[in-house]
Structure 1
């Protein structure tokens, strides 16, 4: 093995580069493990992907710096905190209100009931995932924060019976 190759292996843990987003096999392995358990220790993560802890630490730091890893969060059960009713609400804005789409979406995202906001292409403009105490609270949210707004043309609310989280992406 040449000195260049062994130097590369020492820096990358022997992972091969691919053209997909500048991620190599080691990056993808790290991301899969972190999606499964974002609280895993660096030592355990390194062991799972088969590299030295120092290599693991360097690579995770690089993924954060590059914006591939956007952060870590806690997955809180809405029912455990008194918000056992979840819904998905499709929102269509008036045609003239579309320039305010970003500001409107950010205002919704700041609401405590809102878990996720998706800006869409197609017939609907926004999709909201909300968690509230009960049906009365859901109705109040839709009436006060959506239907009462001049820029909202239409809403459609669907109740969520069960939410299954897909723990990994196809990295």
Structure 2
């Protein structure tokens, strides 16, 4: 939540049933959830505006959001490069991009891939450095490993072998021509 300080209008890409997004809404954020799954969106709470569709072809107008978040979803998007471009398009100047990636080097990830029915086996992109380079073409970025997971326990960890998540924080720099100063 600290990473979203100073934002109001948030787009969550691949929101699924919008569990995290519901928490953001409870804290006063205006959240729009975007997902391709009608079934998942039907489970989203009423406090979340939901839109069915793909990020690569989303119809939101330019400069619509203060933040775009991907909660463990971008690795499942076939054309993630286009998703990043579209995220930059809909973000206002100074807008924030927050991407949580599953870390393929972590014990958590390796354990989950042992189960043939695990959702993790549907990931299309595991090269975190490549994803981060693509994001850096459109945003100033910072990144860190985060949250160790071992069996059913979570703990603080920034170690690549233990942290289940890799977080990329981006900021859209500059002034957009279409924006007007207030």
TM over 0.5, shorter chain:
no
Which protein has the larger Cα radius of gyration, Structure 1 or Structure 2? 1
Q: TM-score, normalised by structure 2?
A: 0.23
Could you say which structure has the higher helix fraction? 1
Q: TM-score, normalised by structure 1?
A: 0.24
Could you say which structure has the higher strand fraction? 2
**Higher relative contact order, chain-length normalized (CA < 8 Å, sep 6+):** 1
